[in-house]
C-alpha cells in the first residue's frame, strides 16, 4: 500500500500539493512502497480540498507558513512520522497560499495540526511537537 504524503513546499520528502494555474488546484504526489514501484512518484489530482481529505480515512493536516521557525521544525517531524505511521495521510497547507482553507478551519496560531477522520476534523493541536509526541497524539485520536 502506498504511503501518501502531501505538501505545498518543496522541502517535505519531495511530495507536495501545489496550485497550478488553469488546472486543478490540488495535486498529490505519492511515493510507492511496493517493491516493483519502489521510490517512484505517482501524481493524483484533486479539484478541491474536501476531495483531498476523502482520499484516505485519516488525514493529518499541518497548517504552516514559510517564515515560521517552529513550522520548519514540524516539516522534519512530519516527514519522519510519515514513514512510521502508515495509515495516515500527511498534508501540509501553506496558510499564505491558501488563506481560505486556514480561515475555514479557524487557524489562528502556527503551526496548527488538524486530524481528520472521514473528512471531519476530530482533533487539533497548536505548536510544534517532537516526533514521539506527534505519533502519540495521532495514535491517541485514531484509536477513538
Residue 3 catalytic? no
Mean pLDDT value of segment 43-55: 77
Residue 14 has pLDDT above 50, yes or no: no
CA angle at residue 6 from 127 to 54, to 5 degrees? 100
* Bridge partners for 33 per DSSP: none
**23: its cell numbers:** 488546472
> Are 70 and 54 within 8 A, CB to CB?
no
Mean pLDDT value of segment 36-40: 43
Mean per-residue pLDDT of the chain? 76
Q: What is the pLDDT of residue 44?
A: 60
Q: What is the pLDDT of residue 144?
A: 73
Q: Which of 3, 32, 68, 81 is catalytic?
A: 68
Q: What is the pLDDT of residue 45?
A: 63
Give the pLDDT confidence of 66-99 residue by residue, as tens digits.
Answer: 999 999 999 999 989 988 998 898 888 999 998 9
Residue 32 catalytic? no
Q: What is the pLDDT of residue 37?
A: 45
- Phi, psi of 117, deg, nearest 5: -120, 120
Residue 54 has pLDDT above 60, yes or no: yes
Residue 15 has pLDDT above 60, yes or no: no
Specify the pTM: 0.72
CA dihedral 98, 87, 79, 105 (to 10 degrees): 20
Q: Give start and end residues of each alpha helix (H) in 17-128.
A: 49-53, 69-84, 99-104
**96: its cell numbers:** 499564505
Class of domain 3-142: alpha beta
Mean pLDDT value of segment 34-42: 42
Amino acid at each position: 500500500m502506498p504511503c501518501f504524503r502531501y505538501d505545498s513546499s518543496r522541502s517535505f520528502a519531495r511530495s507536495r500539493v501545489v496550485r497550478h494555474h488553469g488546472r486543478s488546484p490540488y495535486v498529490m504526489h505519492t511515493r510507492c512502497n511496493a517493491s516493483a514501484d519502489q521510490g517512484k512518484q505517482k501524481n493524483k489530482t484533486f479539484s478541491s480540498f474536501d476531495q483531498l481529505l476523502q482520499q484516505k480515512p485519516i488525514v493529518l493536516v499541518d497548517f504552516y507558513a514559510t517564515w515560521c521557525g517552529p513550522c520548519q521544525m514540524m516539516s522534519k517531524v512530519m516527514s519522519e512520522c510519515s514513514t512510521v505511521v502508515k495509515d495516515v495521510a500527511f498534508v501540509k497547507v501553506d496558510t499564505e497560499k491558501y488563506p481560505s482553507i486556514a480561515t475555514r478551519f479557524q487557524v489562528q496560531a502556527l503551526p496548527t495540526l488538524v486530524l481528520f477522520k472521514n473528512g471531519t476534523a476530530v482533533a487539533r493541536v497548536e505548536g510544534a511537537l517532537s516526533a514521539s509526541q506527534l505519533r502519540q497524539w495521532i495514535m491517541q485520536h485514531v484509536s477513538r
